[in-house]
Amino acid sequence: MTEKTLVLIKPDAVERNLIGRILVEYERNGLKICDMKFIHASTELAEKHYAEHQGKPFFNRLVAYLTRSPLVALVLEGDNAISRVRALNGTTDPEMSPDNTIRALYGLSLSENTVHASDSKESSIREQSIWFG
């Protein structure tokens, strides 16, 4: 089933010049880039993205991280794109992530884990709307 998913290449990866390496992994695995932009996210945009975490102790840290420097927002398309991208990214904690996943290769820590991907069809639709209108 062909589907689309949102991916963010987060500030820590952009700061370390990893955009190209990460994009190659998605394309090498048969995913197509449908939309992409380089953006310095506003606080309002980051708060919308992380709305489900509002009120939690780590919310302000998430927003500060996402807004500290530019990021790349993209929409990938392919068969079972949501689950495939999440598998390619690996687990949230790079230390626990399987070998050769994006987070295992490039993630710095649980809080600076290089990439974000939508976790469901509903999240993908909501997140694409936030980042691409």
116 among known catalytic residues: yes
The partner residues of 117 in beta bridges, in order of sequence, read 7
Q: How far apart are CA 103 and CA 90, in angstroms?
A: 6
**Class of 2-119 in CATH:** alpha beta
The residue ranges of every structural domain in the chain are: 2-119
| Cβ neighbours of residue 43 closer than 8 Å, sequence gap 6 or more | 63, 67
- Cβ contact 117:89 at 8 Å: yes
Tokens of 82: 């949501």
pLDDT tens, residue order, the chain (133 aa): 899 999 999 999 999 999 999 999 999 999 999 999 999 999 999 999 999 999 999 999 999 999 999 999 999 999 999 999 999 999 999 999 999 999 999 999 999 999 999 999 999 999 999 999 9
Options 40, 49, 53, 116, the catalytic residue: 116
For residue 113, what pLDDT is reported?
A: 95
In this prediction the pTM is 0.96
pLDDT at 90: 97
**Helix/strand/coil for 77:** strand
Position 131 scores a pLDDT of: 98
